Structure 1
Amino acid sequence: MKQNIIFAGMAAALLSCGTTQQKQSSMQLIALDPGHFHASLVQQQMYPGIDSTIRVFAPEGPEVKQYLASIGRFNQQTDPPVHWATDVYTGPDYLEKMLQQPAGNIVVIAGNNRLKATYIRRSVNAGQHVLADKPMAIDAAGFDSLQAAFREAAAKKVQLYDIMTERYEIRNTLQRELSQLQDVFGTLETGTPGNPAVVKNSVHHFKKLVAGKTMVRPAWYMDETQQGEGIVDVTTHLVDLVQWTCFPGQTIDFQHDIQVDSARRWATTMSLQQYADITGQTAFPPYLAKNVGKDSLLQVYANGSFDYTIKGIHANISVTWNYQAPEGTGDTHYSLLRGTKASLIIRQGAEQQYKPVLYIESARHHDSAYAKTVAAHIAKLAQQYPGLSLKENNKGWEVVIPEALSKKHEALFGRVMQQFLEYIRNNNMPAWEVPNMLAKYYTTTQALALAKKQ
């Protein structure tokens, strides 16, 4: 089934002013089976040189309808103005139809992770650039497929990249910047298994209100064979931040630089009523029967923790998914880097009113010379990040970040797309990016394999 949907008003007017020649010279975005809401988030803005019509190839169903509804909402924006049109194909041969598209376009993949390895490799082999939501691999077989996909992308001279939004979150960016200042941070500690030098924890919730309504999650989101376990999902961002923050510009060889030391996994239990509240379905589908116990509770393997060594540095990663946050609370993120002179810590708990806050903590903070050094570096950083300042506390300082520098998670997807477009146009992806993507997915999939042995 093929539909052509051209949004009215501003969209039609702006589309009509483009010449045929301009359209032929533009790259086109292709949304392949957009089953996760992340698929639409790169379309919150327009991009120079990208055709304003998105080609959509997907199976018929509620997921593609939700995607199209999101594009429709974005088209109502005025800041920035958005004017996407969509050309939609929802036949059962949607993948084959997509593979017949002219090479050199950009396929955006965000949805059922069990299908992602196939989607990535077939798109690459069709000569398309691929921007994929995390995770690009959810198990050892997926990691093997990803290695092959990167080899094939190099042979086809196309770019393959994952959407690492957290690099653009201002607190993560500043934590990285400060960790490179030896007279503030010192050097990164080595740590031990019992006292790691790097810790990254995140807590999430299945039931969330968005614009006053409960977010609807697809049923397969609760199936670890389709979504992937928590230990290979959200942890992708956390492992990426460890690599990007602690070893900037360095290539990581997963065969020599990574050792997963211990790992564990555990389930979040969910009643049928709770499941129905977040999926809209009144019964567990057959593929979830394996996870429903005699007590009729669904076991969702969304939680995981592992300790690993990366280039000799001990790190701990953990992710927890609760069903619902207590009233007045929310998701939390904790990030610790221990240096020889200071620790850089991001906290997002009750004391921070569940908003992330970056701290510099040091036993030297009473030393006036050290305090002046810290202040001088923050003043220098404020030239690049206007409004940055310090607020002293009994352990050191809070780094005060103006609201203008704090972007919501959804707004960061456009930053990733802009970076990806630069890599495509200039063929200047840093040499470390591909090996470090492989190192990241090796770490998470090895942690899962080890946790399953416990």
Structure 2
Amino acid sequence: MKYLAVIYSLFFVACIGKSENKETPKESDNNKGKITLMTLNPGHFHAALVQKSMYKQVNNNVYVYAPKGPDIKDHLARIEGFNTREENPTQWVENVYEGNDYLQKMMSEKPGNVMVVSGKNNKKIEYIKAAIDAGIHVYADKPMVINPEGFKVLENIFKTAAEKGLLVYDIMTERFEITTILQRELSMNTSVFGTLVDGTPEKPAITKESVHHFFKYVSGKPLKRPDWFFDTKQRGEGLNDVSTHLVDLVQWEAFPNVILKKSDIKIINAKHWTTSLSKKMFKKVTGADKFPDFLKKDLDGELLSINCNGSIIYKIKGKIAKTSVIWNFQAPEGTGDTHYSIMRGTKCDLIIKQGAEENYKPKLYIKMNANEDESKFEENLKTAISTTINQKYSGVKLERLDNKTWFLDIPQEYKIGHEQHFEQVTTNFLKYLKEDNMPAWEIPNMIVKYYTTSEAFKFANKN
């Protein structure tokens, strides 16, 4: 198995790394035999979050290829922040090439063997294809594609990668959120959950809804978003951007370890709608005084109208699922992005809420169905917690809310947050890469995931 190459950026060239005009640094004894990362055109802050932690298997020299502009500056500033923080600072050495031929330059030099890509989503499929054709593993932020044409290319990429023994993997952080993990664990316990109901479009078997905000804080600082982030032609719509996470969770929870096929999917309904931003809002989150020319197509009078919200109702292996993505400008003070989920079983519902009642922190509820015997259900639930759950997550406790509802009291150590999930996903990816042991369902289900979002996009845009 080839090593993973990840490219990182240099913030102060005089202090760390090499500039684009100098030779590639020689590999030190400490870095020999390690995976090397290459980061391509990092336009989204997720590219930096991959580097919020160090990894034993990964070379601390990272190579970044990007065009000149604010995106690369912001990326390097974030890495420098990780390197200079007081608690557990990182030691990344960023080696940067800036130029319009950044993709060709990376392919000709190939200082690493894993490409990390997180930026303009409309360009990702081109980058991914180029990397695989050049024999480079791909570690990609979602989404890898934002339209049906891109999906067709992605299918062929997976075939080529398999022939070459290369890994293409997207960063599914939400699988590591503890309430989601425990919802999945309990759904697999038939004595507690029973089985997943078939559901209806009005009352789906499984529902996933996330509310996001354009203005928020990352690593304790206000997040500055690039202006292109508000262009759905470059970033994608809610249907095929954030929905990637939700569709992934539907598959991962409702059909654990099951290899899915495109024929398992049928879109019932898909729609999208807009969120509007004023110039003042736009400046607050981008720093720009005016809307760029490429956004004029989306102006409605003085407001920028962004087609960033979307919902999908679809059938997956006979079960009806619903995903919804909603974007607001800014969360109320003390709150942030939120997640709601429900899995409906023949014995109980497993519900994740993150509203005011939960102090905007995700909380998992177990609501027994009316026809269940209360004492027997509670006994089975307690057994599930004390055995299956506590074997993996010690300290999780069951608390009763009323005669039909319980919730899980989860120790703080498991509530690590979105940014820390990047370390968990990356560690998983590195393990797959080193041991060549990725589960058989991962690639087929990635294909089905992007097929679902692409078909939903087609449905919403023709109706």
TM-score between both structures, scaled by the size of structure 1: 0.93
Task: Give the one of 296, 312, 321 matched to 2:302.
Answer: 296
Assess if the C-alpha contact under 8 Å between 2:311 and 2:322 holds in 1: yes
Task: Give the one of 338, 347, 358 matched to 2:344.
Answer: 338
Give me the identity figure in percent. 46
Cα distance between partner residues in 2 of 1:450 and 1:89:
41
What amino acid is aligned across from residue 440 of structure 1 in structure 2?
K
1:283 has 2:298 as partner: no
1:148 has 2:156 as partner: yes
| Pairwise CA distance, 1:329 | 3.8
What amino acid is aligned across from residue 364 of structure 2 in structure 1?
L
Aligned in 2, Cα 1:57/1:338: closer, same or farther, shift over 3 Å?
Answer: same
Assess if the C-alpha contact under 8 Å between 2:238 and 2:325 holds in 1: yes
SS of the aligned residue for 2:235 comes to coil
| Pairwise CA distance, 1:86 | 0.8
- Number of residue pairs the alignment of both structures matches: 443
TM-superposition CA deviations, 1:200-245 (whole Å, max 9, x none): 1111111224466532110001100001001111111100000011
Task: Give the one of 212, 216, 232 matched to 1:208.
Answer: 216
SS of the aligned residue for 2:425 comes to helix
Aligned in 2, Cα 1:210/1:122: closer, same or farther, shift over 3 Å?
Answer: closer
SS of the aligned residue for 1:136 comes to coil
1:68 has 2:71 as partner: no
Assess if the C-alpha contact under 8 Å between 1:59 and 1:91 holds in 2: yes
TM-superposition CA deviations, 1:82-102 (whole Å, max 9, x none): 211111100221111111234
Partner of 2:20: none
Partner of 1:318: 324
| Pairwise CA distance, 1:79 | 5.1
Aligned in 2, Cα 1:7/1:252: closer, same or farther, shift over 3 Å?
Answer: farther
Assess if the C-alpha contact under 8 Å between 1:58 and 1:94 holds in 2: yes
Q: Which segments of structure 1 move beyond 6 Å, counting only runs of 4 or more?
A: none
- Which deviates more from structure 2 when the two are superposed, residues 92-101 or residues 19-28? 19-28
SS of the aligned residue for 1:51 comes to coil
TM-superposition CA deviations, 1:252-281 (whole Å, max 9, x none): 101x10001111110111112221221111
Partner of 1:260: 267
Partner of 1:194: 202
1:85 has 2:93 as partner: yes
SS of the aligned residue for 1:75 comes to helix
Assess if the C-alpha contact under 8 Å between 1:5 and 1:87 holds in 2: no
Partner of 1:13: none
What pairs up with 1:124-273 in 2 under 5 angstroms?
124-210=132-218, 213-254=221-262, 256-273=263-280
1:32 has 2:40 as partner: yes
Partner of 2:353: 347
Cα distance between partner residues in 1 of 2:164 and 2:462:
38
SS of the aligned residue for 2:347 comes to coil
Partner of 2:19: none
| Pairwise CA distance, 1:370 | 1.8
| Pairwise CA distance, 1:413 | 0.6
Task: Give the one of 394, 397, 412 matched to 1:389.
Answer: 397
Assess if the C-alpha contact under 8 Å between 2:37 and 2:112 holds in 1: no
Assess if the C-alpha contact under 8 Å between 1:6 and 1:85 holds in 2: no
Partner of 1:274: 281
SS of the aligned residue for 2:72 comes to helix
Cα distance between partner residues in 2 of 1:415 and 1:212:
20
- Structure 2 unaligned runs (5+)? 1-8, 17-25
What amino acid is aligned across from residue 333 of structure 1 in structure 2?
H
| Pairwise CA distance, 1:152 | 1.7
| Pairwise CA distance, 1:22 | 4.8
Aligned in 2, Cα 1:209/1:40: closer, same or farther, shift over 3 Å?
Answer: closer
TM-score between both structures, scaled by the size of structure 2: 0.91
1:53 has 2:61 as partner: yes
